[in-house]
Structure 1
Amino acid sequence: MASSSFSILFTTILLATLVVSTLANFDNEFDITFGDGRARVLNNGQDLTLSLDKYSGSGFRSKNEYLFGKIDMQIKLVPGNSAGSVTTYYLSSMGSAHDEIDFEFLGNVTGQPYTLHTNVFAQGKGNREQQFHLWFDPTEDFHTYSILWNPQRIVFSVDGIPIREFKNMESKGVSFPKDQPMRVYSSLWNADDWATQGGRVKADWSQAPFTASFKAYKAEACVWASGTSSCGSVPSATSGSGWLNQELDSASVERMNWVHKNYMIYNYCADVQRFPQGLPAECANTS
Protein backbone atom coordinates (compact mmCIF):
# COMPACT_ATOMS: atom_id res chain seq x y z
CA MET A 1 0.00 0.00 0.00
CA ALA A 2 2.81 2.37 0.92
CA SER A 3 4.57 1.58 -2.35
CA SER A 4 1.37 2.25 -4.30
CA SER A 5 0.83 5.59 -2.52
CA PHE A 6 4.40 6.63 -3.24
CA SER A 7 3.99 5.70 -6.92
CA ILE A 8 0.82 7.81 -7.20
CA LEU A 9 2.49 10.75 -5.45
CA PHE A 10 5.58 10.52 -7.68
CA THR A 11 3.45 10.36 -10.83
CA THR A 12 1.43 13.38 -9.72
CA ILE A 13 4.58 15.41 -9.06
CA LEU A 14 6.12 14.35 -12.37
CA LEU A 15 3.07 15.28 -14.41
CA ALA A 16 2.73 18.61 -12.66
CA THR A 17 6.21 19.58 -13.83
CA LEU A 18 5.26 19.16 -17.49
CA VAL A 19 2.86 22.09 -17.64
CA VAL A 20 3.69 25.62 -16.54
CA SER A 21 1.02 27.51 -14.60
CA THR A 22 1.82 31.06 -13.56
CA LEU A 23 -0.05 33.98 -12.10
CA ALA A 24 2.11 36.58 -13.73
CA ASN A 25 4.40 39.18 -12.50
CA PHE A 26 4.36 41.37 -15.58
CA ASP A 27 8.02 42.31 -15.17
CA ASN A 28 8.99 38.65 -15.23
CA GLU A 29 6.58 37.32 -17.84
CA PHE A 30 6.40 40.08 -20.48
CA ASP A 31 8.49 42.45 -22.56
CA ILE A 32 7.27 45.89 -23.58
CA THR A 33 7.36 45.90 -27.40
CA PHE A 34 6.57 49.53 -28.24
CA GLY A 35 5.22 52.76 -26.83
CA ASP A 36 8.18 54.77 -25.55
CA GLY A 37 6.97 54.82 -21.94
CA ARG A 38 3.25 54.54 -22.71
CA ALA A 39 3.23 51.00 -21.32
CA ARG A 40 3.70 50.97 -17.56
CA VAL A 41 4.16 48.11 -15.10
CA LEU A 42 2.72 49.00 -11.69
CA ASN A 43 2.32 47.61 -8.16
CA ASN A 44 5.52 45.57 -8.14
CA GLY A 45 4.62 43.84 -11.38
CA GLN A 46 1.03 42.96 -10.54
CA ASP A 47 -0.60 45.42 -12.94
CA LEU A 48 0.12 46.84 -16.37
CA THR A 49 -1.40 49.73 -18.30
CA LEU A 50 -1.23 50.57 -22.00
CA SER A 51 -1.85 54.10 -23.26
CA LEU A 52 -2.59 55.64 -26.64
CA ASP A 53 -2.23 59.23 -27.77
CA LYS A 54 -2.13 60.79 -31.23
CA TYR A 55 1.58 60.04 -31.53
CA SER A 56 1.71 56.36 -30.56
CA GLY A 57 0.05 53.41 -28.94
CA SER A 58 1.81 50.75 -26.86
CA GLY A 59 2.08 47.01 -26.44
CA PHE A 60 3.70 44.01 -24.79
CA ARG A 61 4.33 40.33 -25.45
CA SER A 62 5.14 37.24 -23.40
CA LYS A 63 8.71 36.14 -22.95
CA ASN A 64 7.59 32.51 -23.33
CA GLU A 65 6.29 30.81 -26.44
CA TYR A 66 3.55 28.22 -25.99
CA LEU A 67 2.30 25.25 -28.00
CA PHE A 68 -1.18 24.75 -26.51
CA GLY A 69 -2.45 26.27 -23.31
CA LYS A 70 -5.20 27.90 -21.33
CA ILE A 71 -4.45 31.62 -21.13
CA ASP A 72 -6.38 34.05 -18.89
CA MET A 73 -6.07 37.83 -18.72
CA GLN A 74 -8.15 40.32 -16.75
CA ILE A 75 -8.67 43.53 -18.72
CA LYS A 76 -10.43 46.84 -18.06
CA LEU A 77 -10.98 48.64 -21.34
CA VAL A 78 -10.63 52.32 -22.26
CA PRO A 79 -13.57 54.19 -20.65
CA GLY A 80 -15.66 56.99 -22.11
CA ASN A 81 -15.18 57.95 -25.73
CA SER A 82 -12.91 55.18 -26.99
CA ALA A 83 -13.81 55.66 -30.68
CA GLY A 84 -10.99 54.81 -33.07
CA SER A 85 -9.04 52.76 -30.53
CA VAL A 86 -8.43 49.02 -30.63
CA THR A 87 -7.30 47.01 -27.62
CA THR A 88 -5.92 43.60 -28.60
CA TYR A 89 -5.16 40.43 -26.68
CA TYR A 90 -4.07 37.48 -28.79
CA LEU A 91 -1.72 34.59 -29.47
CA SER A 92 0.46 34.67 -32.57
CA SER A 93 3.39 32.93 -34.22
CA MET A 94 5.72 34.64 -36.67
CA GLY A 95 5.91 34.78 -40.45
CA SER A 96 3.55 35.10 -43.40
CA ALA A 97 2.08 31.63 -42.79
CA HIS A 98 1.52 32.42 -39.12
CA ASP A 99 -1.11 31.11 -36.74
CA GLU A 100 -3.11 33.53 -34.59
CA ILE A 101 -5.99 33.49 -32.10
CA ASP A 102 -7.51 36.96 -31.61
CA PHE A 103 -9.49 38.97 -29.14
CA GLU A 104 -9.84 42.55 -30.43
CA PHE A 105 -11.94 45.20 -28.66
CA LEU A 106 -13.13 47.94 -31.02
CA GLY A 107 -13.83 51.20 -29.20
CA ASN A 108 -16.91 53.35 -29.63
CA VAL A 109 -18.37 56.70 -28.67
CA THR A 110 -19.49 57.20 -25.09
CA GLY A 111 -22.58 55.17 -24.26
CA GLN A 112 -22.26 52.82 -27.23
CA PRO A 113 -21.03 49.25 -26.70
CA TYR A 114 -17.61 47.94 -27.55
CA THR A 115 -17.45 45.39 -30.35
CA LEU A 116 -15.58 42.24 -29.34
CA HIS A 117 -13.99 40.91 -32.53
CA THR A 118 -12.61 37.34 -32.66
CA ASN A 119 -10.65 35.59 -35.39
CA VAL A 120 -8.59 32.45 -35.96
CA PHE A 121 -5.67 32.25 -38.39
CA ALA A 122 -4.04 28.99 -39.46
CA GLN A 123 -1.10 28.87 -41.87
CA GLY A 124 -1.64 32.54 -42.67
CA LYS A 125 -5.34 32.19 -43.49
CA GLY A 126 -7.85 34.09 -41.39
CA ASN A 127 -11.20 35.55 -42.48
CA ARG A 128 -12.98 33.68 -39.68
CA GLU A 129 -14.49 36.64 -37.88
CA GLN A 130 -17.18 36.47 -35.24
CA GLN A 131 -18.20 39.65 -33.41
CA PHE A 132 -20.13 40.23 -30.21
CA HIS A 133 -21.42 42.90 -27.90
CA LEU A 134 -20.97 42.17 -24.21
CA TRP A 135 -23.60 41.79 -21.51
CA PHE A 136 -21.77 44.26 -19.23
CA ASP A 137 -19.79 47.48 -19.51
CA PRO A 138 -16.17 46.30 -19.96
CA THR A 139 -14.81 49.70 -18.90
CA GLU A 140 -16.22 49.75 -15.38
CA ASP A 141 -14.27 46.83 -13.95
CA PHE A 142 -11.88 44.03 -14.83
CA HIS A 143 -13.24 40.96 -16.60
CA THR A 144 -11.47 37.71 -17.47
CA TYR A 145 -10.88 36.92 -21.14
CA SER A 146 -9.65 33.38 -21.79
CA ILE A 147 -8.28 31.37 -24.68
CA LEU A 148 -8.32 27.57 -24.42
CA TRP A 149 -6.12 26.09 -27.14
CA ASN A 150 -5.60 22.35 -27.28
CA PRO A 151 -5.10 19.89 -30.16
CA GLN A 152 -8.86 19.40 -30.57
CA ARG A 153 -10.31 22.90 -30.28
CA ILE A 154 -9.98 26.60 -29.53
CA VAL A 155 -12.49 28.13 -27.11
CA PHE A 156 -12.88 31.86 -26.44
CA SER A 157 -14.47 32.66 -23.06
CA VAL A 158 -15.50 35.76 -21.12
CA ASP A 159 -15.73 35.43 -17.35
CA GLY A 160 -15.85 31.67 -17.81
CA ILE A 161 -18.71 31.80 -20.33
CA PRO A 162 -17.70 30.35 -23.72
CA ILE A 163 -18.56 32.64 -26.62
CA ARG A 164 -16.91 30.77 -29.48
CA GLU A 165 -15.53 27.34 -30.30
CA PHE A 166 -13.31 26.55 -33.31
CA LYS A 167 -12.82 22.81 -33.65
CA ASN A 168 -9.98 20.95 -35.30
CA MET A 169 -11.46 19.82 -38.61
CA GLU A 170 -8.30 18.90 -40.46
CA SER A 171 -10.13 15.77 -41.63
CA LYS A 172 -12.23 18.15 -43.78
CA GLY A 173 -9.21 19.99 -45.13
CA VAL A 174 -9.48 22.90 -42.67
CA SER A 175 -6.14 24.12 -41.32
CA PHE A 176 -5.82 24.22 -37.53
CA PRO A 177 -3.13 25.91 -35.40
CA LYS A 178 -1.18 23.05 -33.88
CA ASP A 179 2.41 23.12 -35.12
CA GLN A 180 3.66 26.66 -34.53
CA PRO A 181 4.41 27.95 -31.02
CA MET A 182 2.81 31.29 -30.22
CA ARG A 183 3.46 34.16 -27.84
CA VAL A 184 0.82 36.17 -26.00
CA TYR A 185 0.52 39.75 -27.26
CA SER A 186 -1.48 42.78 -26.26
CA SER A 187 -1.60 46.29 -27.66
CA LEU A 188 -3.60 49.52 -27.69
CA TRP A 189 -3.43 51.39 -30.99
CA ASN A 190 -5.10 53.86 -33.30
CA ALA A 191 -7.32 52.29 -35.97
CA ASP A 192 -9.75 55.13 -36.55
CA ASP A 193 -9.63 54.51 -40.30
CA TRP A 194 -11.80 51.40 -39.76
CA ALA A 195 -12.44 50.46 -36.13
CA THR A 196 -15.53 52.52 -35.23
CA GLN A 197 -18.52 52.42 -37.55
CA GLY A 198 -16.27 51.53 -40.47
CA GLY A 199 -14.02 54.53 -39.88
CA ARG A 200 -16.81 57.11 -39.92
CA VAL A 201 -16.12 58.05 -36.28
CA LYS A 202 -12.56 59.21 -35.61
CA ALA A 203 -10.57 59.36 -32.40
CA ASP A 204 -11.14 62.47 -30.29
CA TRP A 205 -7.58 63.27 -29.31
CA SER A 206 -8.73 65.88 -26.82
CA GLN A 207 -9.70 62.87 -24.65
CA ALA A 208 -6.22 61.32 -24.86
CA PRO A 209 -4.38 59.56 -23.44
CA PHE A 210 -6.64 56.52 -23.72
CA THR A 211 -5.70 53.83 -21.21
CA ALA A 212 -6.50 50.12 -20.83
CA SER A 213 -5.50 48.12 -17.75
CA PHE A 214 -4.37 44.51 -17.33
CA LYS A 215 -3.86 42.18 -14.39
CA ALA A 216 -4.05 38.57 -13.19
CA TYR A 217 -2.45 36.98 -16.25
CA LYS A 218 -2.35 33.21 -15.90
CA ALA A 219 -0.87 30.65 -18.28
CA GLU A 220 -1.51 26.93 -17.86
CA ALA A 221 0.45 26.05 -20.92
CA CYS A 222 3.07 23.94 -22.65
CA VAL A 223 6.18 26.10 -22.92
CA TRP A 224 8.14 25.80 -26.16
CA ALA A 225 11.90 26.22 -25.87
CA SER A 226 14.78 25.11 -28.10
CA GLY A 227 12.42 23.14 -30.33
CA THR A 228 10.89 21.17 -27.47
CA SER A 229 7.55 21.36 -25.65
CA SER A 230 7.39 21.00 -21.88
CA CYS A 231 4.37 18.73 -22.46
CA GLY A 232 6.25 16.26 -24.66
CA SER A 233 5.99 15.52 -28.36
CA VAL A 234 2.37 14.31 -28.25
CA PRO A 235 0.36 16.31 -25.68
CA SER A 236 -2.51 14.42 -24.14
CA ALA A 237 -4.46 14.15 -20.91
CA THR A 238 -1.45 12.36 -19.42
CA SER A 239 0.59 15.54 -19.75
CA GLY A 240 -0.72 16.67 -16.40
CA SER A 241 -3.62 19.02 -17.11
CA GLY A 242 -7.25 18.47 -18.05
CA TRP A 243 -7.29 21.43 -20.41
CA LEU A 244 -5.26 19.50 -22.97
CA ASN A 245 -8.33 17.36 -23.70
CA GLN A 246 -10.99 19.73 -22.41
CA GLU A 247 -14.21 20.07 -24.37
CA LEU A 248 -17.47 21.91 -23.82
CA ASP A 249 -20.02 20.07 -21.74
CA SER A 250 -23.76 20.47 -22.34
CA ALA A 251 -24.09 23.34 -19.86
CA SER A 252 -21.23 25.21 -21.55
CA VAL A 253 -22.76 24.68 -24.98
CA GLU A 254 -26.06 26.04 -23.67
CA ARG A 255 -24.32 29.16 -22.34
CA MET A 256 -22.48 29.66 -25.64
CA ASN A 257 -25.76 29.35 -27.53
CA TRP A 258 -27.23 32.01 -25.21
CA VAL A 259 -24.38 34.35 -26.13
CA HIS A 260 -24.85 33.65 -29.85
CA LYS A 261 -28.59 34.27 -29.67
CA ASN A 262 -28.41 37.49 -27.67
CA TYR A 263 -25.02 39.09 -28.26
CA MET A 264 -23.50 37.91 -31.55
CA ILE A 265 -23.59 40.70 -34.15
CA TYR A 266 -21.58 39.09 -36.96
CA ASN A 267 -20.78 35.50 -37.94
CA TYR A 268 -18.77 34.79 -41.08
CA CYS A 269 -20.48 31.41 -41.27
CA ALA A 270 -23.80 33.16 -41.86
CA ASP A 271 -22.48 35.62 -44.46
CA VAL A 272 -23.56 33.95 -47.70
CA GLN A 273 -22.98 37.13 -49.71
CA ARG A 274 -19.34 37.11 -48.70
CA PHE A 275 -18.93 33.48 -49.80
CA PRO A 276 -21.04 33.14 -52.97
CA GLN A 277 -19.25 29.89 -53.91
CA GLY A 278 -20.27 28.31 -50.60
CA LEU A 279 -19.46 28.76 -46.95
CA PRO A 280 -16.09 27.57 -45.62
CA ALA A 281 -15.97 23.88 -44.74
CA GLU A 282 -15.75 24.47 -40.99
CA CYS A 283 -19.06 26.34 -41.03
CA ALA A 284 -20.99 23.08 -41.23
CA ASN A 285 -20.12 22.58 -37.55
CA THR A 286 -20.63 26.09 -36.19
CA SER A 287 -23.64 28.09 -35.10
Structure 2
Amino acid sequence: PQIWLLILITFILNLMLALNYPAAKSIVPEVINGNYLQKFNALSNTFFGLANIIAPVIGGVLLAINGIDFSEFILINAASYFIALFFNLLITYQPTPSVKNHQSESFLISTISGFKYVLEHKKLLLYMTSTGIFNFVCAGFLLTTPYISSHYFSKITSSYSLFLICAAVGGLVGGLWLTVQKQKISSNRIFAEQICYGIILILGSLKFSIYSWIIIALVYGLIQSRFFGSMITFIQEETDISFLGRIFGLTFLFFDGIQPVGSFIFGFFVSTWGSWTYSVLGSLTLSLFGLIYFFNRKTFE
Protein backbone atom coordinates (compact mmCIF):
# COMPACT_ATOMS: atom_id res chain seq x y z
CA PRO A 1 0.00 0.00 0.00
CA GLN A 2 1.31 3.42 -1.01
CA ILE A 3 -1.45 5.56 0.44
CA TRP A 4 1.06 7.56 2.46
CA LEU A 5 2.93 8.44 -0.74
CA LEU A 6 -0.24 9.73 -2.39
CA ILE A 7 -1.06 11.72 0.74
CA LEU A 8 2.47 13.20 0.71
CA ILE A 9 2.21 14.09 -2.99
CA THR A 10 -1.18 15.75 -2.41
CA PHE A 11 0.22 17.70 0.55
CA ILE A 12 3.22 18.93 -1.47
CA LEU A 13 1.06 19.92 -4.46
CA ASN A 14 -1.28 21.92 -2.24
CA LEU A 15 1.66 23.49 -0.43
CA MET A 16 3.12 24.57 -3.77
CA LEU A 17 -0.23 26.06 -4.76
CA ALA A 18 -0.44 27.98 -1.48
CA LEU A 19 3.06 29.39 -2.07
CA ASN A 20 2.61 30.02 -5.77
CA TYR A 21 -0.67 31.96 -5.63
CA PRO A 22 0.51 34.92 -3.49
CA ALA A 23 3.90 35.02 -5.23
CA ALA A 24 2.46 34.97 -8.75
CA LYS A 25 -0.15 37.65 -8.02
CA SER A 26 2.30 39.84 -6.11
CA ILE A 27 4.90 40.00 -8.87
CA VAL A 28 2.40 41.08 -11.56
CA PRO A 29 2.34 44.85 -10.76
CA GLU A 30 6.15 44.89 -10.98
CA VAL A 31 6.06 43.32 -14.45
CA ILE A 32 2.82 44.61 -16.01
CA ASN A 33 1.98 48.27 -16.51
CA GLY A 34 -0.91 49.34 -14.26
CA ASN A 35 -3.08 50.25 -17.26
CA TYR A 36 -2.96 46.64 -18.43
CA LEU A 37 -3.56 44.88 -15.10
CA GLN A 38 -7.22 44.21 -15.84
CA LYS A 39 -6.49 42.72 -19.26
CA PHE A 40 -3.62 40.62 -17.93
CA ASN A 41 -5.60 39.20 -15.02
CA ALA A 42 -8.53 38.48 -17.31
CA LEU A 43 -6.26 36.67 -19.80
CA SER A 44 -4.56 34.80 -16.95
CA ASN A 45 -7.92 33.55 -15.66
CA THR A 46 -9.00 32.66 -19.19
CA PHE A 47 -5.91 30.51 -19.77
CA PHE A 48 -6.40 28.94 -16.35
CA GLY A 49 -9.95 28.00 -17.33
CA LEU A 50 -8.74 26.72 -20.70
CA ALA A 51 -6.16 24.55 -18.92
CA ASN A 52 -8.94 23.09 -16.76
CA ILE A 53 -10.63 21.92 -19.95
CA ILE A 54 -7.56 20.68 -21.82
CA ALA A 55 -5.61 19.12 -18.92
CA PRO A 56 -8.10 16.28 -18.16
CA VAL A 57 -8.23 15.46 -21.88
CA ILE A 58 -4.42 15.27 -22.09
CA GLY A 59 -4.30 13.20 -18.89
CA GLY A 60 -6.90 10.80 -20.23
CA VAL A 61 -5.02 10.39 -23.52
CA LEU A 62 -1.72 9.72 -21.72
CA LEU A 63 -3.27 7.13 -19.41
CA ALA A 64 -4.91 5.45 -22.41
CA ILE A 65 -1.53 4.87 -24.08
CA ASN A 66 -0.47 1.28 -23.46
CA GLY A 67 3.19 2.11 -22.91
CA ILE A 68 2.48 4.60 -20.10
CA ASP A 69 1.53 3.41 -16.63
CA PHE A 70 0.53 5.52 -13.62
CA SER A 71 4.12 5.91 -12.35
CA GLU A 72 5.28 7.25 -15.71
CA PHE A 73 2.25 9.55 -15.76
CA ILE A 74 3.39 11.00 -12.41
CA LEU A 75 6.89 11.53 -13.87
CA ILE A 76 5.41 13.41 -16.83
CA ASN A 77 3.47 15.54 -14.38
CA ALA A 78 6.69 16.21 -12.45
CA ALA A 79 8.44 17.26 -15.66
CA SER A 80 5.75 19.90 -16.23
CA TYR A 81 6.90 21.66 -13.04
CA PHE A 82 10.44 21.89 -14.39
CA ILE A 83 9.05 23.42 -17.58
CA ALA A 84 7.18 25.96 -15.43
CA LEU A 85 10.42 26.65 -13.53
CA PHE A 86 12.22 27.35 -16.81
CA PHE A 87 9.56 29.87 -17.88
CA ASN A 88 9.63 31.52 -14.46
CA LEU A 89 13.39 32.02 -14.83
CA LEU A 90 12.77 33.88 -18.09
CA ILE A 91 10.72 36.58 -16.33
CA THR A 92 12.79 39.74 -15.99
CA TYR A 93 11.75 42.55 -13.74
CA GLN A 94 13.20 45.16 -11.41
CA PRO A 95 12.03 44.38 -7.89
CA THR A 96 11.25 47.22 -5.53
CA PRO A 97 14.50 47.90 -3.61
CA SER A 98 14.41 47.10 0.09
CA VAL A 99 14.77 49.89 2.60
CA LYS A 100 18.30 50.14 3.96
CA ASN A 101 18.86 48.72 7.44
CA HIS A 102 15.44 47.12 7.24
CA GLN A 103 15.36 43.97 9.36
CA SER A 104 13.57 40.95 7.99
CA GLU A 105 10.35 40.13 9.80
CA SER A 106 9.39 36.78 11.25
CA PHE A 107 6.40 34.91 9.81
CA LEU A 108 4.22 35.88 12.79
CA ILE A 109 5.18 39.57 12.72
CA SER A 110 4.73 39.69 8.96
CA THR A 111 1.26 38.13 9.21
CA ILE A 112 0.20 40.51 11.99
CA SER A 113 1.39 43.53 10.01
CA GLY A 114 -0.59 42.21 7.03
CA PHE A 115 -3.74 42.01 9.16
CA LYS A 116 -3.17 45.55 10.42
CA TYR A 117 -2.70 46.77 6.85
CA VAL A 118 -6.01 45.19 5.79
CA LEU A 119 -7.87 46.71 8.75
CA GLU A 120 -6.49 50.13 7.86
CA HIS A 121 -7.65 49.78 4.25
CA LYS A 122 -11.39 49.18 4.30
CA LYS A 123 -11.60 48.51 0.57
CA LEU A 124 -9.18 45.61 0.91
CA LEU A 125 -11.24 44.21 3.77
CA LEU A 126 -14.35 44.50 1.61
CA TYR A 127 -12.69 42.72 -1.32
CA MET A 128 -11.38 39.91 0.88
CA THR A 129 -14.81 39.52 2.51
CA SER A 130 -16.47 39.30 -0.91
CA THR A 131 -14.09 36.54 -2.04
CA GLY A 132 -14.85 34.61 1.16
CA ILE A 133 -18.60 34.96 0.63
CA PHE A 134 -18.27 33.87 -2.97
CA ASN A 135 -16.30 30.75 -2.07
CA PHE A 136 -18.66 29.89 0.79
CA VAL A 137 -21.59 29.87 -1.64
CA CYS A 138 -19.43 28.15 -4.26
CA ALA A 139 -18.82 25.26 -1.85
CA GLY A 140 -22.55 24.57 -1.74
CA PHE A 141 -22.76 24.99 -5.50
CA LEU A 142 -20.01 22.40 -6.12
CA LEU A 143 -21.67 19.93 -3.73
CA THR A 144 -25.05 20.36 -5.41
CA THR A 145 -23.88 19.70 -8.96
CA PRO A 146 -23.06 15.94 -8.74
CA TYR A 147 -26.17 15.35 -6.61
CA ILE A 148 -28.41 17.01 -9.20
CA SER A 149 -26.72 15.07 -11.97
CA SER A 150 -27.26 11.66 -10.35
CA HIS A 151 -30.74 12.24 -8.88
CA TYR A 152 -32.43 14.41 -11.50
CA PHE A 153 -30.70 13.64 -14.78
CA SER A 154 -29.41 10.08 -14.30
CA LYS A 155 -30.92 9.09 -17.67
CA ILE A 156 -28.61 11.59 -19.34
CA THR A 157 -25.30 9.77 -18.79
CA SER A 158 -23.13 12.74 -19.69
CA SER A 159 -25.12 15.34 -17.71
CA TYR A 160 -22.36 16.02 -15.17
CA SER A 161 -19.70 16.37 -17.88
CA LEU A 162 -22.03 18.61 -19.86
CA PHE A 163 -22.50 20.87 -16.84
CA LEU A 164 -18.75 21.18 -16.27
CA ILE A 165 -18.08 21.85 -19.95
CA CYS A 166 -20.75 24.57 -20.04
CA ALA A 167 -19.32 26.17 -16.89
CA ALA A 168 -15.84 26.11 -18.47
CA VAL A 169 -17.16 27.65 -21.70
CA GLY A 170 -18.90 30.36 -19.67
CA GLY A 171 -15.58 30.99 -17.89
CA LEU A 172 -13.77 31.44 -21.20
CA VAL A 173 -16.44 33.83 -22.47
CA GLY A 174 -16.30 35.83 -19.24
CA GLY A 175 -12.52 36.03 -19.33
CA LEU A 176 -12.45 37.15 -22.97
CA TRP A 177 -15.21 39.67 -22.29
CA LEU A 178 -13.18 41.18 -19.48
CA THR A 179 -10.08 41.20 -21.70
CA VAL A 180 -11.62 43.10 -24.62
CA GLN A 181 -13.59 45.45 -22.38
CA LYS A 182 -12.09 48.89 -22.96
CA GLN A 183 -13.71 50.65 -20.04
CA LYS A 184 -12.18 49.97 -16.62
CA ILE A 185 -14.59 47.87 -14.61
CA SER A 186 -15.76 49.07 -11.18
CA SER A 187 -16.14 46.99 -8.05
CA ASN A 188 -19.83 47.81 -7.82
CA ARG A 189 -20.33 46.46 -11.35
CA ILE A 190 -18.84 43.14 -10.23
CA PHE A 191 -21.00 43.08 -7.09
CA ALA A 192 -24.08 43.88 -9.20
CA GLU A 193 -23.26 40.92 -11.46
CA GLN A 194 -23.23 38.67 -8.38
CA ILE A 195 -26.66 40.01 -7.42
CA CYS A 196 -27.94 39.20 -10.92
CA TYR A 197 -26.54 35.69 -10.66
CA GLY A 198 -28.32 35.22 -7.34
CA ILE A 199 -31.58 36.11 -9.08
CA ILE A 200 -30.81 33.66 -11.91
CA LEU A 201 -30.20 30.87 -9.39
CA ILE A 202 -33.55 31.53 -7.73
CA LEU A 203 -35.44 31.70 -11.04
CA GLY A 204 -33.67 28.58 -12.32
CA SER A 205 -34.77 26.53 -9.30
CA LEU A 206 -38.39 27.70 -9.58
CA LYS A 207 -38.79 26.06 -12.98
CA PHE A 208 -36.02 23.49 -12.83
CA SER A 209 -35.08 21.46 -15.91
CA ILE A 210 -32.00 20.34 -17.79
CA TYR A 211 -32.16 23.60 -19.76
CA SER A 212 -32.29 25.88 -16.71
CA TRP A 213 -29.48 23.76 -15.18
CA ILE A 214 -27.26 24.35 -18.22
CA ILE A 215 -28.04 28.09 -18.14
CA ILE A 216 -27.01 28.12 -14.47
CA ALA A 217 -23.70 26.46 -15.45
CA LEU A 218 -22.97 28.91 -18.27
CA VAL A 219 -23.74 32.00 -16.20
CA TYR A 220 -21.81 30.60 -13.23
CA GLY A 221 -18.66 30.19 -15.34
CA LEU A 222 -19.06 33.65 -16.86
CA ILE A 223 -19.67 35.45 -13.55
CA GLN A 224 -16.96 33.49 -11.73
CA SER A 225 -14.23 34.39 -14.25
CA ARG A 226 -15.20 38.08 -14.24
CA PHE A 227 -15.33 38.12 -10.45
CA PHE A 228 -11.86 36.62 -9.87
CA GLY A 229 -10.22 38.49 -12.74
CA SER A 230 -11.52 41.77 -11.35
CA MET A 231 -10.95 41.11 -7.63
CA ILE A 232 -7.28 40.31 -8.22
CA THR A 233 -6.90 43.63 -10.08
CA PHE A 234 -8.71 45.58 -7.35
CA ILE A 235 -6.46 44.11 -4.65
CA GLN A 236 -3.30 44.79 -6.67
CA GLU A 237 -4.31 48.41 -7.26
CA GLU A 238 -5.28 49.01 -3.62
CA THR A 239 -2.13 47.49 -2.05
CA ASP A 240 1.40 48.85 -1.75
CA ILE A 241 3.88 46.59 -3.54
CA SER A 242 5.76 45.89 -0.31
CA PHE A 243 2.61 44.38 1.20
CA LEU A 244 1.30 42.49 -1.83
CA GLY A 245 2.76 39.12 -0.84
CA ARG A 246 1.22 39.25 2.63
CA ILE A 247 -2.12 40.52 1.38
CA PHE A 248 -2.47 37.83 -1.28
CA GLY A 249 -1.36 35.24 1.26
CA LEU A 250 -4.14 36.39 3.59
CA THR A 251 -6.59 36.53 0.68
CA PHE A 252 -5.74 32.96 -0.28
CA LEU A 253 -6.12 31.87 3.36
CA PHE A 254 -9.43 33.69 3.71
CA PHE A 255 -10.72 32.47 0.35
CA ASP A 256 -9.57 28.85 0.58
CA GLY A 257 -10.19 28.48 4.31
CA ILE A 258 -13.90 29.26 4.06
CA GLN A 259 -14.68 26.51 1.53
CA PRO A 260 -14.42 23.57 3.99
CA VAL A 261 -16.85 25.45 6.26
CA GLY A 262 -19.31 25.83 3.39
CA SER A 263 -18.87 22.19 2.36
CA PHE A 264 -19.47 21.04 5.95
CA ILE A 265 -22.64 23.12 6.34
CA PHE A 266 -24.21 22.49 2.95
CA GLY A 267 -23.27 18.82 3.05
CA PHE A 268 -26.04 18.22 5.58
CA PHE A 269 -28.78 19.79 3.47
CA VAL A 270 -28.15 19.17 -0.24
CA SER A 271 -29.83 15.75 -0.22
CA THR A 272 -32.88 17.24 1.55
CA TRP A 273 -33.22 20.44 -0.44
CA GLY A 274 -32.41 18.95 -3.86
CA SER A 275 -32.82 21.52 -6.65
CA TRP A 276 -34.13 24.04 -4.12
CA THR A 277 -30.53 24.31 -2.92
CA TYR A 278 -30.07 26.73 -5.82
CA SER A 279 -32.77 28.96 -4.31
CA VAL A 280 -30.92 28.96 -0.98
CA LEU A 281 -27.59 29.70 -2.69
CA GLY A 282 -29.22 32.39 -4.82
CA SER A 283 -30.84 34.01 -1.79
CA LEU A 284 -27.51 34.06 0.07
CA THR A 285 -25.74 35.55 -2.95
CA LEU A 286 -28.49 38.12 -3.49
CA SER A 287 -28.67 39.26 0.14
CA LEU A 288 -24.96 39.23 1.04
CA PHE A 289 -23.70 40.84 -2.17
CA GLY A 290 -26.64 43.24 -1.99
CA LEU A 291 -25.33 44.44 1.37
CA ILE A 292 -21.77 44.68 0.01
CA TYR A 293 -23.04 46.60 -3.04
CA PHE A 294 -24.87 49.24 -0.99
CA PHE A 295 -22.08 49.52 1.58
CA ASN A 296 -19.48 49.95 -1.18
CA ARG A 297 -21.61 52.51 -2.99
CA LYS A 298 -22.32 54.51 0.17
CA THR A 299 -18.78 54.40 1.54
CA PHE A 300 -16.42 54.49 -1.46
CA GLU A 301 -18.33 55.78 -4.48
TM-score tier after normalising by the smaller chain length:
under 0.3
TM-score by length of 2: 0.26
Task: Choose between structure 1 and 2 for higher RCO, CA contacts under 8 A separated by at least 6 residues.
Answer: 2
Q: Which has the higher helix share?
A: 2
TM-score by length of 1: 0.27
Which structure would you say has the larger Rg? 2
Q: Which has the higher strand share?
A: 1
